[in-house]
């Protein structure tokens, strides 16, 4: 199961919903945020994020970026659970 979540701010609280029994290789965590703060970027990766994506403010760009994220994680990325 994969999730794409949006958070108003990056914090340890935002990562509390990730079940303790999963590993990042099985459960990718994508931070999709409007934050431009280097601190938020660093915190996200330190807390276990697999990806940090800034949300565009223009709707058409937002839809395009969201589509690329979904394509990558669901179509392109090969996970440990992928059957060969």
Average pLDDT of every residue of the chain: 76
**For residue 40, is it within any domain?**
yes
| Nearest alpha carbon to residue 48 among 70, 23, 66, 73 | 23
Structure tokens at 16: 């509390």
pTM (2 d.p.): 0.65
Tell me, what CATH number does 33's domain have? 3.40.50.2300
**For residue 34, is it within any domain?**
yes
More confident residue, 5 or 60: 60
CB neighbour list of residue 64: distance below 8 Å, 6 or more residues apart: 56
Output the CA angle 54-74-44, nearest 5 degrees. 35
**For residue 83, is it within any domain?**
no
**For residue 45, is it within any domain?**
yes
For residue 30, list its beta bridge partners.
Answer: 51
- What sections of 1-84 are H helices per DSSP? 38-46, 59-71
How many structural domains compose the chain?
1
pLDDT digits (tens, 9 = 90+) for 43-57: 888 888 888 999 999
pLDDT digits (tens, 9 = 90+) for 25-46: 567 788 888 888 998 898 888 8
**For residue 69, is it within any domain?**
yes
């Amino acid at each position: 199961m994969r999730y794409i979540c949006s958070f108003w701010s990056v914090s340890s609280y935002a990562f509390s919903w990730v079940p303790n029994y999963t590993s990042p290789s099985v459960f990718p965590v994508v931070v999709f945020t409007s934050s431009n703060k280097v601190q938020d970027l660093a915190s996200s990766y330190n807390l276990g994020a697999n990806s940090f994506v800034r949300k565009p403010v223009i709707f058409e760009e937002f839809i395009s970026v969201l589509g690329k994220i979904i394509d990558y994680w669901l179509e392109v990325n090969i996970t440990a659970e992928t059957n060969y």
